[in-house]
Amino acid sequence: MATHLTETPPLLSAARQYTSRGWRVIPLAPRSKTPRRGSRGYLDGATDPETLEGWWEENEDLNVAIVTGPDSGLVVLDIDLRNGGDASLYDLENQHGQLPETVTAETSGGWHHYFAHPGGTLPANFGENYPGLDLKANGGYVVAPPSIHPDGSEYRWKLGPWETELAELPEAWVTLLQTSAKLPPTRCLDEPRPLKEGMRHTALTRLAGRLLNAGLGTPEQIRAALHVANRERCQPPLPDAEVDAIADATGTWHRRPADEQTGVQERDAPATADTGEAAPTRSSREENCPDCADGACSLPSTRNRTSRPVHRTVVPKEVIRGESDDMSWYRTPDRKPLTGLDLRAMVRATTWTWPGWMAEGHITVLAGESGAGKSWFALALARAAAHGLDWPDGAAGPEGERPVLWLEAEGRHAVLLERAERLGLDPERLHFMPRPLQTYYLDRPDEMDAISDVAAVSRPRLIVVDSWSKSLWGKENDADVRFCLDSLQSLARHVSAPVLLVHHLRKRQLTDYSESFDFDRLRGSSVLAQVAACVIGVDVPDRSADGRRVSCGKANLGPLPEPFGFSISDEGIAFGPPPELNEQTSRLDAAKAFLRRALADGPRPANEVKEAAREEGISQDALLAAKRQVCHFSRAGGRGGTWLWSLVPEGSEDDAPHHTDHLVQEKKAS
């Protein structure tokens, strides 16, 4: 009998917890997804304490895996975000119903959803129609928390087995899986199953990767095999040039060394218990699945962020100066760029939640001045999203009902619920964070993780952040804002929902008398406008009336949609045609358009620009107000020289106080 350890390693402690539930476990090599040397994989699954202690007494750093199948009573759905598993799951749930909440673990590249095994034989994957989804059932295993992934991240429980019950698969899903099990698995080159249009390129790419990873041929031999598979299986066959492109890309695939994968030097790599050699960090067949591959997750984890070595090519000074033609310093890159054919198999088309305005996996900014009705309008969008109603512009709403996750950062929960009731938004469909009166700051990694956890459980159709500036703990510098936006966008992709950021405009200057939405007045870092796929503006063209105007200032994913209007009353919110812009607003817009034309070719003397404006009927007041928003100005030849006007570079910000001073002086002079 093995000697008991004086201090229980965390992984052994976790293994004991799993076996206490009747789940069989096996040890894996440290920081790896493959069984330790000499192991028979899932066949070694055990539950007795003596065997467990013997394993971890040999090496405390062994990872732990849970065996799936009837013996453990488990079946696990493995979602690989990098390969589109979230989209595949969404498609399947639309066809066969949503899966219930169940025990869930976070992996480096996605999620593991644990379900009770329904009995019978189940397949190891869903086939090529649903990329990124794998099923770990009979004769399989999954890496379990708190194991360490080869990239250094830690497997974690999102909903541990002590927090929720192990759910059963719905009957429709059991039928689907048992039916899929009868199909011949895609494993061999001579498989009779045809590859139709839409499947051919992806299937050949995967085939090339499997052959290369398993060491079953040189690049040229793999090229020949791809041409055979193309002729015999593809209906119709791809052009030879496209097959050659797949083979060429395959010939440049190389695995990164361990130090580049984990950020740890080779001498620090964990050793196996049997030989003392560095444990492998990759495998040609990991977790009993030939299609899986390690890589960065599309949802960038904010946990365990470690610096990675950066490899730069140093060019000798002699070469830079042109004193030497010696190119021996140049090292051919290890990887070849992806072609459009490679990329076509990885990306999917834009999926609109609200056509033209909000798309799944993208950020939309809703901006306006205080009192313009931004929160009312955001609640109206939440109602349409939650209940599947038509959108404000008359576009057909989404099918079915899904909740909206509302991140309230201004502490107005009572007002929010009162307004939601007036609009007819079911409060059951309005989800908040578990501690709603606490502000969750998006630039704090641990709190961003908490938001991701809740979103994974809520599965919202829309995520609303009200307001953006109040959701940040630190200053709105570019680096922090970029991190927050990247995290939000990845979260949006993972839950297949858009993110709506409610934001404010900068305070109006004395000369900013326009009531229309001005894209240049967005507060904070310019990164916000750069990352957002769409920027929506809410303004009040006529302060004497109640009508609001909604317009789109930026649309990266399609043409600018047409503006519309809305009004707020005791009965709620009503939508209709947009109110007309007043005469003053029209004059300012015309002056701004004139300046963009007049200065398109570069700086011009101020007097020359003013004279051209008078000839076009642009008033001096409108010209100076427009100049404040779109122009730089400086003296030619230094102090005392002629004033020159030039356009502000697109996307930049300039709040220099001397602009107003000069504007006032010039106005007095005129």
pLDDT at 26: 92
The domains of the chain are located at 10-181, 195-254, 352-581, 584-669
Q: What is the torsional sign of CA 344, 347, 352, 358?
A: negative
Equal fold, 352-581 vs 584-669: no
| 3-class secondary structure, 642 | coil
Rounded to a whole number of angstroms, the distance between the first and last alpha carbons of the chain is 99
d(C-alpha 191, C-alpha 202), whole Å: 16
Q: What is the dihedral of CA 133, 386, 352, 552, to 10 degrees?
A: -150
Query: The tokens of 60 are what?
Result: 């405390």
Q: Note the pLDDT tens digit of each residue in 470-506.
A: 888 876 666 778 888 888 988 888 888 999 999 988 7
pLDDT at 205: 78
Buried b (16+ CB within 10 A) or exposed e, 311-322: eeeeeeeeeeee
Q: Note the pLDDT tens digit of each residue in 181-201.
A: 443 333 333 344 677 776 787
In which residue are the tokens 């928003």 written?
A: 629
In which residue are the tokens 């779109």 written?
A: 630
CB 79 within 8 A of CB 30: no
d(C-alpha 259, C-alpha 8), whole Å: 29
DSSP letter for 385, please. Answer: H
Give domain 352-581's CATH number out of 3.30.70.1140, 3.30.365.10, 2.40.30.10, 3.40.50.300: 3.40.50.300
Buried b (16+ CB within 10 A) or exposed e, 499-509: bbbbbbbeeee
Class of domain 10-181: alpha beta
Angle at 404 (CA atoms; ends 570, 522), nearest 5 degrees: 75
Angle at 317 (CA atoms; ends 312, 321), nearest 5 degrees: 125
Which CATH topology does 584-669 take?
Answer: Arc Repressor Mutant, subunit A (1.10.10)
User: What are the mean pLDDT values of the chain's consecutive 10-residue runs (670 residues total)?
Assistant: 56 89 90 82 85 86 89 88 77 83 87 88 66 82 90 86 88 80 39 67 76 68 85 86 79 42 36 43 36 33 38 51 54 61 68 94 91 92 95 92 92 89 93 83 84 89 92 74 85 90 72 53 78 90 76 88 91 88 66 87 89 84 82 68 79 40 39
Which one-letter amino acid corresponds to residue 493? Answer: R
Phi, psi of 287 (to 5 degrees): 55, 35
